[in-house]
Structure 1
């Protein structure tokens, strides 16, 4: 047996050196079983288990080895030293990770004490000074870890709570939120997938009974709520197909989340109108409510009776939300800390008087024939040449198809479609067709892009900018009779009819007040406090999208068939909202809808770490599916999704999170460049580094879809240690040093700050990477001993895939400018960090979350941060670009430091460490008023005595404010 054990050990050594740690541990374990009296085998096993991150198993094996070794008089000092060091490290990591408990520590108390003492006694016989230093540091770390562990787990929970509230993104210089009250996407039903082209049905009937009561959807960046309404209808259809037994277990939850209070308030009004629709006593009342829904959802202006109905809903909501608890329908919930923000915007809507004339003047309706030529769109500044070439090739193929289709039509069809003069001879007609072919193809291309033939109402809308009311309410609008008649008969609206209709609208109609937010009363933009939204859209695209959804169960040729010329927007909207209302009525108590005003990543983090204290405990913290719209365009793309969104998916194969790309579609050469810019990974590498499956990688022209895997993953599935450390260095360096963004429509945003980077480390531990890989990396960062050949990227975004192969001469980079930022993060999260870090902290670092407080500095208006400046430079104050510089003005100037950050990072010795630092994370930034940030009280007092200065600056241009 001993011979077998020796052979197994040698095989284990070969596997260990090859990095096959799981195989090595299995071989060492078999060797120990073959010869349980030899201390070498459990010693080797402890090393393999430690490298695998199995710290409890490593402690067990060390203690078994020590029990055999302690009576050996000839035990080598080096071996005892290695075992003792490994024991201390495994204990630290196991306790921090939660895999080693008090019971285990108590069980091995004697062995721990003996092995520590034995190693100390043998130090005189050891000549390896680094090994001695490692032993000393490891046991000192254990002393700290054990003392902190004895304080209990409550500190960890408190730290997680505080950690969840740290800002993940660099702030924009102007915190005003952009308001897009009307969306542009096709309606999505998450029970069916992401759109008609991306089918990914949720097989509810196959879910176990316990899952049937946990169906939950989250809409991040919910916008106008269209996808929520589509999913409500989908849930209704799903519910109807279930057996009675399964219907009894069916429960669903929808979370509507948006960072803008105006969007949440607007969606809440729509939901309450749907509630009133379901409780209305007559069809006449339902028609009036349905008309109000249409005008509120899509219109710039509405009849006064619809405005009165909307104002009644707004005032009713004010009363309902003021009650304790809020008096809402049983299926509707507004999270408590969202109510003040919603109430503020509701009050604005009730007290603000706006002009119908002004809002219609601000409405730039772009119909099918008014759209820019597709070739003009593809010539937009900054559009990627590869994407432009691909789009142009696709467009030319489509135009050729249209041309061939026209040439294949009969003369009668061409006349009927208005492509040929009715009275021309066949020869003259064909000559006309050949002569005007390009113009006809242009018109057909535009109509096919909008998937519709313009209805007569679109001609009406071009004159009036309002929808026609339903026939049941038309008698209230006699001024519309003549104009409607003329257009419906195919004639141009006469000037008299147009004037009569417009005068009626101006005098008797009201603006859609839900299209306004508080920015329209901001004196920075509107000195008279009377701003109006600029509406540049083809609203009939949205009407058509609602219609396609209503017809979704029909065969494709019928579903995609354009609406008839006589169709009204009212008919489509009425059908859409009637279906939503019917779904809510049938589902009743089997559906709950909650509304949250907040950032997507931040709110999900609070849910994960039990920081969502104002949400009922029974509400879900994990979701079956999530749709993010194009929020990731603003929040660091798939990197943020994998770290801060995907962990909130339920752990089953049908769970998924999806988004699209709208902010900067033209910037990307391909999907690989999209992934690489945000993550420094290719789509195929994503699951191996982040344990996040990529279901669909086609983000640019389709949808990006990520799945979920149960965590932690076996180390054999993940990146190697060298791969991980190289990648972490690249991510960190590009958090320190930033590239440049072009203006819209190719504006790429990478706003993650060092809080987000540290969150990546915390997430990687959950993924399954050993804690000592992560703590060793952070130790080098914090000690200034990080040696790397990876260069940061400081050119224009996006980042070409070829950049991943760039290397420079290995050098020790300066990390000291960012250590105070790390202090704020580590002190806040200290007791919740899942790997030991105390031994790596600089001597002046705080370890107490209570020592980190928020400070406020008043600022002078910075010209470079203003909207006026942006008009000349293209550098928008909405870009998340703020860093804060703190410095001793007797050592250097702010301009000198901010202009030299890259060279300082690369090792330039001046300014010296300790004379300045940079904060990538801020609590609040408004370039005209104040900035709030976190610092330890101890550090602040020291800086105050030394008369430090601070400035805000853009991390791309280096422009400095005061």
Structure 2
């Protein structure tokens, strides 16, 4: 009878396997169904079938090997669900000593980890403070670029009103804000989109983030000027002011007239007094105390010229040395404008005669004489004697550092102020601004700052504006925001009350709009961006994130190549399901007749892309059908590991470098994200265990070219064994620190 039962059971298992392979799950025995559920990551479903199978086994033939297999699977299910008590019970039911010991050791490790991470918040802080995400750099001084490259545009996202007509608060994040042109454009947008009688959004919170204290210091100066304008208008009533012109000069020009220098220095001192609590602070701005001292230090530096570039003549010489000669193969741009000729000759922008006469009469007379005679010697002498260097364009710490090292670079002052004006003049580009009263560039920029100031101070007067300023590295700060690990946002347990006008503990943890400029070019592209920025998008609004490619666009033929280099993935549906974003189609110039005539066959249209906008998609776990097949998933993970460990050699110097800055924590962060998106824990555990063993067998390969294009990302090679032992020592500390 026993033999008959065993034969029957074996036939049932064989029949079940045939049904399982054929996909006919309704006819599969429960033990096989438990394996299917386990493989798909449905551990609770697997437990249900295991318990049924164990009950049937208890009533039938006592097959010890089969029961051990079921109990081992049961223990693993409970372990993945972090039900450690049930894991122990299932392990003790295993008769095979080796298998029981193996699972007991896994349980013991999990319990030790649970004890070690009892305070998850403290562990998260420890990881953020001590585990770097990037490879080491030789320089410990970050560069300072006082002039950006983005084309500032009015913010047109449909934010602020829900489908029921309720006014909503809006939160915007600008990472790598630089000269803040995108911040100013957004402020102007939010102010002009509503009139005084109707509000179409609630409160506006803007988080400004940059790596440099100098960037934040300069923005603070301009905000202080806006505040001074508002104060003047409140106390004296409407009257002409030179502040808008002053702001334009400080924003865009290397050298500035005397009246601008005077206003700049008075505002620097005023701002220092505010930050040192000698005067009332700017109530709509929050700058944490940990950054205040460093910002004050920068402001004090700007009160005196940097010795090596202290005069307008120094600036002209530097610009001449750094400006490359005209490219004979470059398209003909036509004759130079008078302003361009003057800029090349004097390294200065001049206001209109009317404004010059109003704010700097001596300049107006000399300027009129030059326009009349074409002789610029007297004007040049006046500039050298009376004008000043715009010190806010120089980071003195970086400049001193570069001065001390052989072959160090000079401060970046060779930008074109006319291009700065054009890029920042969002109103004229959008076609929404009033027709310019003058063709004079600096006057036009002054009008732009008039709009920005009116919008900003209107929102401030209505107590609807908060500007949070943070100095730090983008990925680090974004993760701290996500996990509520920013010190200035955490409540002080010793002090429940605050004297600050703004309560940082109530600042938003998600955003409707995230702008990153071209910071992703330097930090791992889409991969890093999607891992750290996507979790900050507001799931209750039409939120989006955006960035552009300025560092190396000629290296990429199209978006598929761009995405393949950083994600090893280019299929839009795969990106959507794995990272919960979808790229919004942008305007293409590929069919533009001018582009075709000038660049067709020479350079791809991708090189002329503007901001790449990625809209938020619902963040939900993938179904099993949406997952990559297990072999493809392992190949993808191995591909990222090999790409980081064995990158294709980079040239020391390149006009369009493609950086490979990530260290092995990127692989672990990707694993964590994929677990959150629905990949089974035991899939990830297998990948991680293989890597830690020092040997992997994979169909992936290290990159064979500097840029990984779509065919290279998709290529499946013959399985090959790789020794990765040299990198195990780098990988294990990451897991030991609790990153996993």
Same fold by TM-score greater than 0.5: yes
Please report how far the alpha carbon of residue 204 of structure 1 lies from its aligned counterpart in structure 2 after TM superposition.
3.0
CA contact (8 A) 2:37 2:46 kept: yes
Within the candidate set 493, 497, 500, 2:374 is matched to 493
Query: Partners of 2:723 and 2:167 in 1: how far apart?
Result: 51
SS at match of 1:185: coil
Partner of 1:711: 620
SS at match of 1:634: helix
Matched, 1:80 2:67: yes
Matched, 1:314 2:268: yes
CA contact (8 A) 1:217 1:626 kept: yes
Please report how far the alpha carbon of residue 134 of structure 1 lies from its aligned counterpart in structure 2 after TM superposition.
4.8
Q: How does 1:180-199 map to 2 (within 5 A)?
A: 180-190=145-155, 192=156
Query: Partners of 2:164 and 2:293 in 1: how far apart?
Result: 39
Please report how far the alpha carbon of residue 10 of structure 1 lies from its aligned counterpart in structure 2 after TM superposition.
11
1:226-251 deviation digits (Å, cap 9, x = unpaired): 1111111112234449956x65xx11
Partner of 2:703: 793
Partner of 2:576: 687
Query: Partners of 2:564 and 2:703 in 1: how far apart?
Result: 12
CA contact (8 A) 2:565 2:707 kept: yes
Q: How does 1:295-374 map to 2 (within 5 A)?
A: 295-323=249-277, 327-352=280-305, 354-364=310-320, 372-373=326-327
Partner of 1:783: 693
1:637-660 deviation digits (Å, cap 9, x = unpaired): 111111122121111462111111
CA change 1:254–1:472 in 2 (3 A) is: same
Matched, 1:50 2:38: yes
CA change 1:534–1:644 in 2 (3 A) is: closer
CA contact (8 A) 1:277 1:286 kept: no
Please report how far the alpha carbon of residue 74 of structure 1 lies from its aligned counterpart in structure 2 after TM superposition.
2.2
| Most deviating of 232-241 and 750-759 | 232-241
CA change 1:90–1:271 in 2 (3 A) is: same
CA RMSD, 1 decimal: 3.5
Partner of 1:143: 108
Q: How does 1:158-197 map to 2 (within 5 A)?
A: 158-165=122-129, 166-190=131-155, 192=156
CA contact (8 A) 1:164 1:609 kept: no
Partner of 1:665: 553
Query: Partners of 1:696 and 1:365 in 2: how far apart?
Result: 41
Query: Partners of 1:375 and 1:706 in 2: how far apart?
Result: 36
CA contact (8 A) 2:555 2:656 kept: yes
Q: How does 1:769-848 map to 2 (within 5 A)?
A: 769-793=679-703, 795=705, 797-804=706-713, 810-829=719-738, 833=740
Calculate the TM-score normalised by the size of structure 1: 0.65
Matched, 1:760 2:632: no
CA change 1:625–1:207 in 2 (3 A) is: farther
Please report how far the alpha carbon of residue 477 of structure 1 lies from its aligned counterpart in structure 2 after TM superposition.
4.1
Partner of 1:626: 514
SS at match of 1:170: coil
Partner of 2:595: none
Query: Partners of 2:373 and 2:340 in 1: how far apart?
Result: 12
Q: How does 1:71-470 map to 2 (within 5 A)?
A: 71-72=58-59, 74-95=61-82, 109=86, 115-120=90-95, 123=96, 133-146=98-111, 148-149=113-114, 151=115, 154-165=118-129, 166-190=131-155, 192=156, 201-206=157-162, 212-213=168-169, 215-240=170-195, 247=201, 250-280=202-232, 281-282=235-236, 287-323=241-277, 327-352=280-305, 354-364=310-320, 372-373=326-327, 375-376=329-330, 442-444=332-334, 454=337, 456-469=338-351
Within the candidate set 475, 481, 484, 2:367 is matched to 484
CA contact (8 A) 1:88 1:142 kept: no
Query: Partners of 1:11 and 1:621 in 2: how far apart?
Result: 54
Please report how far the alpha carbon of residue 806 of structure 1 lies from its aligned counterpart in structure 2 after TM superposition.
5.2
1:37-85 deviation digits (Å, cap 9, x = unpaired): xxx53x444333322323344335434544x347425232233112211
SS at match of 2:329: helix
Query: Partners of 1:288 and 1:81 in 2: how far apart?
Result: 85
Please report how far the alpha carbon of residue 674 of structure 1 lies from its aligned counterpart in structure 2 after TM superposition.
1.6
CA change 1:140–1:271 in 2 (3 A) is: same
Within the candidate set 449, 469, 478, 1:577 is matched to 449
Matched, 1:636 2:524: yes
SS at match of 1:658: strand
Structure 1: unaligned runs, 5 residues or longer: 1-7, 32-39, 124-131, 193-200, 377-394, 396-441, 448-453, 834-962
Query: Partners of 2:565 and 2:16 in 1: how far apart?
Result: 40
CA change 1:509–1:725 in 2 (3 A) is: same
CA change 1:232–1:548 in 2 (3 A) is: closer
CA contact (8 A) 1:479 1:504 kept: no
SS at match of 2:119: helix
CA contact (8 A) 1:366 1:538 kept: no
Query: Partners of 1:211 and 1:57 in 2: how far apart?
Result: 44
Please report how far the alpha carbon of residue 807 of structure 1 lies from its aligned counterpart in structure 2 after TM superposition.
5.8
CA change 1:696–1:443 in 2 (3 A) is: closer
CA change 1:727–1:355 in 2 (3 A) is: same
Query: Partners of 2:151 and 2:679 in 1: how far apart?
Result: 40
SS at match of 2:205: strand
Calculate the TM-score normalised by the size of structure 2: 0.83
Please report how far the alpha carbon of residue 483 of structure 1 lies from its aligned counterpart in structure 2 after TM superposition.
5.2
Structure 2: unaligned runs, 5 residues or longer: 1-11, 490-503, 589-605
Query: Partners of 1:319 and 1:203 in 2: how far apart?
Result: 37
Partner of 1:508: 386
Partner of 1:129: none
**Alignment: residue pair count:** 684
CA contact (8 A) 1:737 1:794 kept: no
CA contact (8 A) 1:307 1:510 kept: yes
CA change 1:331–1:721 in 2 (3 A) is: same
Please report how far the alpha carbon of residue 164 of structure 1 lies from its aligned counterpart in structure 2 after TM superposition.
2.8
CA change 1:752–1:253 in 2 (3 A) is: same
Query: Partners of 2:384 and 2:487 in 1: how far apart?
Result: 48
Matched, 1:601 2:554: no
SS at match of 1:573: helix
SS at match of 1:726: helix
SS at match of 1:779: helix
1:652-692 deviation digits (Å, cap 9, x = unpaired): 46211111111112222222222212222224342344443
CA contact (8 A) 1:91 1:142 kept: no
Please report how far the alpha carbon of residue 602 of structure 1 lies from its aligned counterpart in structure 2 after TM superposition.
1.2
Please report how far the alpha carbon of residue 297 of structure 1 lies from its aligned counterpart in structure 2 after TM superposition.
0.4
Partner of 1:543: 421
Please report how far the alpha carbon of residue 184 of structure 1 lies from its aligned counterpart in structure 2 after TM superposition.
2.6
